[in-house]
């Protein structure tokens, strides 16, 4: 069994913060698994995903992504970055650009640097982008500007952009918290389905235990920067889940976008 993510005794504090955002975190995610990070606002989910994406430095401990250690002192190389894709809650798309152009942006990390600067896709880049649009059911939107799309359609574009990158690991930070419940389930069905079909690992964060249970094989509960449980979905315990949200925030209070 290969490992997509391996973290051992990892701690991180934002500069100037009076307490760590991640404290003594250890985690192992086998390749091909779909894992949900569950926890209240401030639990450290975004920080953990950003760290795995190579965007945070000066942490302590050990971490490997797709079998290679990440360095707390240097950002990852361009090639390494291309192997993991990130899906943001707020989509992070170029609003005034077309859907196809946004999806092609996912190819930039796979192009030689000069071609990427010129933004000149090859026929094979176009083929990969069109396949990603097709997988996400949005081929008919290819020429539409992103600023004319609904939230659910935008998140499909963001997933297609990520797939165009051909990542082996997909990190998704609350990918459905801006969507209504029906759309949220649709998008997680799509995300975990296309990732599974391509053999990619998915690590997604969520405030919603029901969605985590439905779409992940394993649930990692976080609270106050620590991992408090890490269980197969069948072993998820209601009390332990509710505990994640104590201190003024209850599970039922945690709606589509969180309580802060
Ligand atoms: N850029 C930052 N600078 C300083 N502190 C930060 C920064 N980003 C997050 N934090 C702090 O780090 C801790 C973990 O935050 P993080 O955003 O990772 O939690 P989260 O579980 O993703 O929360 P949410 O569900 O609201 O996104 C919190 O105490 C937060 O206030």
Q: pLDDT, tens digit, for every residue of 140-177? A: 999 999 999 998 899 999 999 999 999 999 999 999 88
Banded pLDDT at 213 (limits 50, 70, 90): very high
Q: For ligand 1, atom 2, name the residue with the nearest CA.
A: 14
Residue 189 pLDDT: 94
Helix (H) or strand (E) holding 52: helix 45-52
Is the pLDDT at 18 greater than 70? The verdict is yes
Is the pLDDT at 133 greater than 60? The verdict is yes
Tokens 């072993």 correspond to 235
- Contact assessment for residue 115 and residue 78, using Cβ atoms and an 8 Å cutoff: no
Task: Kindly list the protein residues whose Cβ atom lies closer than 6 A to any atom of ligand 1.
Answer: 14, 17, 21, 39, 41-47, 207, 258
Residue 251 pLDDT: 42
Residue 89 pLDDT: 83
Q: pLDDT, tens digit, for every residue of 241-260? A: 999 988 754 444 443 333 32
Q: How much distance in Å is there from the Cα of 55 to the middle of ligand 1?
A: 14
For a mutational test of ligand 1's pocket, the pick from 11, 22, 41, 42, i.e. the residue with the most ligand atoms closer than 8 A to its C-beta, is 42
Q: How much distance in Å is there from the Cα of 178 to the middle of ligand 1?
A: 18
Residue 1 pLDDT: 53
Pairing of strands 201-206, 34-38: parallel
Average pLDDT over the chain, rounded to whole?
89
CA 260 to ligand 1: nearest atom: 26
Q: What percent of the chain has pLDDT over 70?
A: 95
Is the pLDDT at 223 greater than 80? The verdict is yes
Residue 225's region, left for phi above 0, alpha for psi from -120 to 50, else beta, is left
Q: pLDDT, tens digit, for every residue of 67-118? A: 999 999 998 888 888 899 999 888 788 999 999 999 999 988 887 777 777 7
Sequential DSSP letters for 114-182: HHHHHT---HHHHHHHHHHHHHTT-GGGTTSBGGGS-HHHHHHHHHHHHHHT--SEEEESSTTTTS-HH
């Amino acid at each position: 069994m290969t490992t997509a993510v391996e973290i051992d005794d990892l701690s991180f504090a934002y500069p100037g913060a009076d307490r760590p955002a991640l404290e003594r975190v250890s985690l192992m995610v086998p390749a091909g698994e779909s894992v949900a990070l569950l926890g209240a606002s401030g639990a450290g989910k975004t920080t953990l995903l950003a760290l795995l994406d190579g965007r945070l430095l000066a942490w302590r401990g050990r971490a490997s992504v797709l079998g290679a250690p990440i360095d707390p002192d240097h950002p990852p190389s361009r090639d390494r970055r291309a192997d993991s894709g990130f899906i943001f809650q707020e989509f992070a798309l170029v609003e005034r650009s077309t859907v196809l152009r946004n999806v092609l942006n996912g190819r930039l990390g796979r192009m030689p640097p000069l071609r990427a600067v010129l933004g000149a896709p090859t026929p094979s880049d176009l083929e990969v982008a069109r396949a990603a649009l097709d997988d996400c059911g949005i081929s008919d939107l290819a020429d539409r500007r992103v600023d004319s799309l609904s939230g659910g359609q935008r998140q499909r574009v963001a997933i297609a952009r990520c797939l165009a990158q051909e990542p082996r690991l997909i990190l998704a930070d609350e990918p459905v918290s801006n969507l209504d419940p029906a759309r949220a389930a649709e998008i997680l069905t799509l995300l975990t389905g296309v990732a599974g079909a391509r053999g990619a690992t998915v690590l997604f964060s969520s405030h919603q235990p029901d969605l985590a249970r439905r779409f992940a094989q394993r649930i990692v509960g976080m609270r106050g920067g620590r991992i408090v449980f890490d269980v197969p979905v069948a072993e998820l315990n209601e009390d332990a889940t509710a505990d994640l949200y104590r201190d003024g925030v209850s599970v039922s209070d945690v709606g589509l976008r969180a309580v802060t």
